[in-house]
C-alpha cells in the first residue's frame, strides 16, 4: 500500500491510475492511501466544467488542457459519465475528444462512471482530485454532465466552475429550471457559430442580472456566508462591468467559444484566470477550501456514523425484528430510534 503512495509521489503514472481505481472501488486500504496523500496536496488549481450532454464539454476541456500544456503546466482531467441504472455498465466516451493531447502523458485523463451511488461519487471525485493534486498536477479539470443536484456536489470540489450552455437550450424558463445559474462562475456559450447563439448569450445575461450575487462565488458554505454576504447588491445599472467600486463582487462573465475549432479558448482561459485572481484577492479561495473540507468531513462522518449505527442495529437483533414490532404496533419508529441510539447517547452524556 505505502509502495503505491511512494510510487505515486515519485510520479509513476500506473501508480496514480491504480490509486484512482482503488478510490473508485473503495477497495480495502483506500482510506489509508488518501490519508497519506493529503499532506502533499493544496497546490493544484481545480476547474469544474459542467453542462448538458453534447454541449461540447469534452472538446473544450481538450483545448483548454492543450493550452495549459503550452504554458508548461501539467494537467489532470476527471471526466464523469453516467452509468446504466440497469446493468451498472457504462460506455465512457469523453476520451475520444482528447485528440489534442494524444500521447502526452502529462495530461492525465481519467474517465469515471457515476456507478449509481449518489453520495459516493462526490466522495470519489474529491479523493481522485486529491490523488492528482498529490501527484503534482498544476491544473485539474473535473468534467461532468450537468442535470441536477449530484453535479452541484461534484463541482463543489472545484475552485472555479464553468457552465456550458449550447445555443438553443430553450427559453429563459429552462434556465431557471435547470438551476445552472447558481453554480457557474464563468458561463460559456459554446458552438457560438450556430444560429441562436446571440439570443442565448442575451438570455443568459438577463438571467444573470437577476441572479444578483446569490450565486456560488458568494457562498462559502452551502450558500450562507458571513455578514459580508451582500446578496442583491447588484443593481440593474452597473451589471455589464466588473466595476472597481465593488471589487468584492464577482460578476460571472459570458464567454463565446467554438471549441472544435479552438475559437474563444483564450478568452475562456482569461475568464478562468480572472476568477482565480478574484478568489485570491478577496480571500475567497481560502474560504472555499475551508468550506470544502468542512463538507467533506461532514460527509465522511455521516457515512461512518451510518456504518456504526448499522452495526449497533445488528447487535440489537437487526432491523427486521424491530420492524416486526412496529408493524404489530408494540412500539413506534421514534421510540425504536431512541432505543437504538441509547448507548451512543449514554456515552455522550457521560462525557459532559
Partner 1 sequence: MSVEHEQSERTIRCLVAKVGLDGHDRGAHVIARALRDAGFEVIYSGLHRSPDEVVQAAVQEDVDVVGISILSGAHNTLVPKILDGLKQYDAFDDRLVLVGGIVPDDDKAELRTQGVDEIFGPGASMEEMIAYIREHAPER
Instruction: Tell me if residue 320 falls in helix, strand or coil.
Output: helix
340 binds partner 1 per the rule CB under 8 A: no
The residue from 20, 46, 163, 188 that contacts partner 1 (CB under 8 A) is 20
CB burial of residue 315 (10 Å; 0-12, 13-18, 19+)? exposed
Q: Of 139, 137, 146, 98, nearest to 259 (Cα)?
A: 98
The residue from 11, 93, 170, 283 that contacts partner 1 (CB under 8 A) is 93
Residue with cell 412500539: 331
Cβ atoms < 10 Å from Cβ of 156: 23
Instruction: Tell me if residue 298 falls in helix, strand or coil.
Output: helix
Rank residues 247 and 308 by Cβ distance to partner 1 and give the closer one: 308
313 binds partner 1 per the rule CB under 8 A: no
Rank residues 86 and 334 by Cβ distance to partner 1 and give the closer one: 86
Query: What's the min distance (Å) between Cβ of 95 and partner 1?
Result: 6
The residue from 10, 28, 327, 350 that contacts partner 1 (CB under 8 A) is 28
Query: What's the min distance (Å) between Cβ of 196 and partner 1?
Result: 29
Q: Of 305, 307, 304, 315, nearest to 340 (Cα)?
A: 315
Which range of residues in 11-19, 35-43, 207-215, 342-350 is near partner 1 by CB under 8 A? 11-19
315 binds partner 1 per the rule CB under 8 A: no
Q: How far does CA 118 lie from the centroid of its chain?
A: 13
Residue with cell 462573465: 253
Query: What's the min distance (Å) between Cβ of 50 and partner 1?
Result: 21
294 binds partner 1 per the rule CB under 8 A: no
C-alpha cell at 146: 450537468
113 binds partner 1 per the rule CB under 8 A: yes
The residue from 52, 63, 69, 109 that contacts partner 1 (CB under 8 A) is 109
Cα–Cα dist 166/54, whole Å: 8
102 binds partner 1 per the rule CB under 8 A: yes
Q: What is the DSSP string of 152-178?
A: HHHHTT-SEEEEE--TT---HHHHHHH
Cα–Cα dist 238/246, whole Å: 10
Which range of residues in 20-28, 44-52, 217-225, 327-335 is near partner 1 by CB under 8 A? 20-28
40 binds partner 1 per the rule CB under 8 A: no
DSSP state letter for 263: B
Rank residues 6 and 96 by Cβ distance to partner 1 and give the closer one: 96
Q: How far does CA 74 lie from the centroid of its chain?
A: 20
Size of the chain in residues? 352
Q: Which residues pair with 215 in a beta bridge?
A: none
95 binds partner 1 per the rule CB under 8 A: yes
Cα–Cα dist 320/270, whole Å: 58
127 binds partner 1 per the rule CB under 8 A: no
Rank residues 313 and 336 by Cβ distance to partner 1 and give the closer one: 313
Query: What's the min distance (Å) between Cβ of 201 and partner 1?
Result: 31
The residue from 115, 205, 225, 285 that contacts partner 1 (CB under 8 A) is 115
Q: Please tell me the count of residues contacting partner 1 according to CB under 8 A.
A: 41
Query: What's the min distance (Å) between Cβ of 220 and partner 1?
Result: 29
Query: Which residues have a Cβ under 8 Å from the Cβ of 208 and sit 6 or more positions away?
Result: 181, 187, 239, 251, 252, 254
The residue from 1, 2, 11, 21 that contacts partner 1 (CB under 8 A) is 21
268 binds partner 1 per the rule CB under 8 A: no
The residue from 26, 40, 205, 225 that contacts partner 1 (CB under 8 A) is 26
Q: How far does CA 176 lie from the centroid of its chain?
A: 21
Tell me which residues touch partner 1 (CB under 8 A).
Answer: 12-14, 17-18, 20-21, 24-28, 83-84, 87-93, 95-96, 99, 102-105, 108-111, 113, 115, 303-304, 306-308, 310-311
Amino acid at each position: 500500500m505505502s509502495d503505491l503512495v511512494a510510487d505515486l509521489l515519485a510520479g509513476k503514472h500506473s501508480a496514480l491510475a491504480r490509486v484512482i481505481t482503488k478510490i473508485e472501488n473503495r477497495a480495502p486500504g483506500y482510506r489509508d492511501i488518501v490519508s497519506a496523500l493529503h499532506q502533499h496536496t493544496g497546490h493544484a488549481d481545480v476547474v469544474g466544467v459542467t453542462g448538458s450532454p453534447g454541449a461540447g464539454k469534452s472538446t473544450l476541456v481538450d483545448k483548454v488542457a492543450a493550452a495549459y500544456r503550452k504554458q508548461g503546466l501539467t494537467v489532470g482531467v476527471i471526466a464523469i459519465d453516467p452509468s446504466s441504472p440497469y446493468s451498472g455498465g457504462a460506455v465512457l466516451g469523453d476520451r475520444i475528444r482528447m485528440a489534442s493531447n494524444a500521447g502526452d502523458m502529462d495530461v492525465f485523463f481519467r474517465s469515471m462512471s457515476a456507478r449509481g451511488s449518489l453520495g459516493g461519487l462526490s466522495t470519489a471525485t474529491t479523493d481522485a482530485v486529491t490523488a492528482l493534486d498529490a501527484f503534482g498536477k498544476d491544473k485539474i479539470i473535473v468534467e461532468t454532465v450537468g442535470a441536477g443536484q449530484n453535479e452541484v456536489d461534484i463541482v463543489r470540489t472545484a475552485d472555479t466552475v464553468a457552465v456550458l450552455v449550447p445555443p438553443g437550450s430553450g427559453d429563459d424558463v429552462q434556465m431557471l429550471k435547470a438551476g445552472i445559474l447558481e453554480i457557474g462562475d464563468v458561463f460559456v456559450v459554446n458552438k457560438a457559430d450556430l444560429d441562436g447563439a446571440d439570443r442565448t448569450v442575451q438570455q443568459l445575461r438577463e438571467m444573470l442580472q437577476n441572479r444578483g450575487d446569490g450565486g456560488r462565488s458568494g457562498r462559502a458554505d452551502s450558500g450562507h456566508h458571513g455578514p459580508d454576504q451582500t446578496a442583491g447588491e447588484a443593481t440593474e445599472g452597473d451589471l455589464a462591468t466588473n466595476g472597481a467600486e465593488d471589487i468584492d463582487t464577482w460578476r460571472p462573465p459570458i464567454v463565446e467559444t467554438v471549441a472544435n475549432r479552438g475559437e474563444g479558448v483564450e478568452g475562456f482561459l482569461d475568464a478562468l484566470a480572472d476568477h482565480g485572481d478574484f478568489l485570491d484577492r478577496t480571500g475567497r479561495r481560502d474560504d472555499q477550501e475551508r468550506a470544502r473540507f468542512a463538507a467533506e468531513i461532514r460527509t465522511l462522518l455521516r457515512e461512518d456514523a451510518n456504518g456504526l449505527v448499522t452495526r449497533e442495529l445488528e447487535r440489537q437483533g437487526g432491523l427486521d425484528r424491530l420492524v416486526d414490532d412496529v408493524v404489530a404496533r408494540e412500539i413506534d419508529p421514534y421510540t425504536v430510534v431512541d432505543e437504538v441510539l441509547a448507548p451512543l447517547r449514554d456515552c455522550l452524556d457521560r462525557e459532559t
